[in-house]
């Protein structure tokens, strides 16, 4: 596994390696890409000033953990592709990465990270065909999101069966920085995906006209708990009914 930290490094974890990467700084190019990788722990990292996305779990990468890291200033070259954390791959890329099969990059965890500011695309983009992940205890700064390529939320969920809990979203836009609309969004980008996700105990301070959590109409099984809270938005906690969660 590469552990370079030079200004041109894209660190790619090799197939099948069980590893731990910690206490490192990554700048320029891409941050870290995991392809067909399992049981890696990425922790105490700083990823910033990269051309595209910061951390990418793709090509059937499963059971990995990203924790206690700081990601900011992403998408310096391609703003619309400057996600902080990218899980899976878009269905248009399945033939590139997974032999035209669904990219089931499942059961990955993103825990207790600081994501933003100036993450030009979503803080976390969860793609269709990814499932059963955990997004917990992260702090997002939505300031500086570009709005390009439909990037107008700090988390975009297109996968299934994700638990998204205990996260905090802050947004302090300037007069020229008003691209953030919602805290989290749920979309269907491929048939039968974007379902059965659960949102609980998240806090939003948005300074927008959107919602804390915006679920695309017609998607089933998504649960937004009544212990989520939102301030400084005209839309409220969610555009769907809230559930009482134990």
pLDDT digits (tens, 9 = 90+) for 10-58: 455 444 444 566 656 666 677 899 999 999 999 999 999 999 999 999 9
Other Cβ atoms less than 10 A from the Cβ of 207: the count is 16
pLDDT bucket at 5, cuts 50 / 70 / 90 = very low
Taking the C-alpha atoms of residue 169 and residue 195, their distance in angstroms, rounded to an integer, is: 22
pLDDT at 78: 82
This prediction's pTM? 0.91
Report the alpha-carbon distance of residue 72 to residue 61 in Å, rounded. 23
Return the pLDDT at 175. 55
Tens-digit pLDDT profile for residues 205-244: 999 999 999 999 999 999 999 999 999 998 999 999 999 9
Q: What is the pLDDT of residues 79-121, one digit of tens each?
A: 888 899 999 999 999 999 999 999 999 999 999 999 999 999 9
Please tell me the distance from the alpha carbon of residue 25 to that of residue 44, in angstroms, as a whole number: 9
pLDDT at position 123 is: 97
- Write out the two tokens for 69: 């890291």
Instruction: Note the pLDDT of residue 146.
Output: 83
CA-only gyration radius of the chain, Å: 17
Say what the pLDDT of residue 20 is. 63
**Bigger pLDDT: 149 vs 125:** 125
Q: Which two tokens stand for residue 23?
A: 């206490």
Alpha carbon distance 42, 22 (integer Å) = 6
**pLDDT above 70 (res 9):** no
Backbone angles phi, psi at 180, to 5 degrees: -75, 130
User: At residue 61, does pLDDT exceed 90?
Assistant: yes
């Amino acid at each position: 596994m590469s552990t370079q930290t030079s200004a041109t490094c894209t660190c790619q974890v090799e197939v099948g390696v069980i590893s731990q990467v910690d206490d490192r700084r990554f700048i320029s190019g891409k941050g870290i890409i995991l392809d067909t990788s399992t049981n890696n722990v990425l922790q105490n990292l700083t990823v910033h000033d990269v051309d595209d996305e910061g951390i990418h779990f793709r090509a059937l990468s499963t059971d990995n953990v990203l924790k206690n890291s700081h990601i900011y200033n992403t998408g310096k070259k391609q703003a619309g592709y400057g996600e902080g954390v990218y899980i899976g791959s878009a269905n248009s890329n399945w033939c590139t990465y997974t032999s035209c099969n669904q990219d089931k990059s499942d059961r990955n965890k993103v825990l207790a990270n600081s994501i933003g500011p100036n993450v030009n695309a979503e803080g976390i983009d969860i793609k269709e065909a990814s499932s059963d992940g955990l997004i917990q205890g992260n702090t997002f700064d939505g300031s500086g999101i570009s709005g390009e390529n439909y990037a107008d939320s700090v988390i975009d969920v297109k996968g299934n069966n994700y638990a998204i809990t205990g996260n905090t979203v802050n947004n302090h836009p300037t007069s020229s920085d008003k691209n953030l609309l919602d805290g989290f969004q749920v979309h269907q980008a491929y048939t039968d995906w974007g379902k059965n996700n659960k949102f609980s105990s998240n806090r939003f301070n948005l300074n927008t006209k959107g919602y804390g959590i915006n679920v695309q109409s017609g998607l089933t099984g998504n649960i937004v708990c009544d212990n989520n809270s939102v301030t400084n938005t005209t839309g409220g906690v969610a555009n769907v009914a809230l559930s009482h969660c134990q």
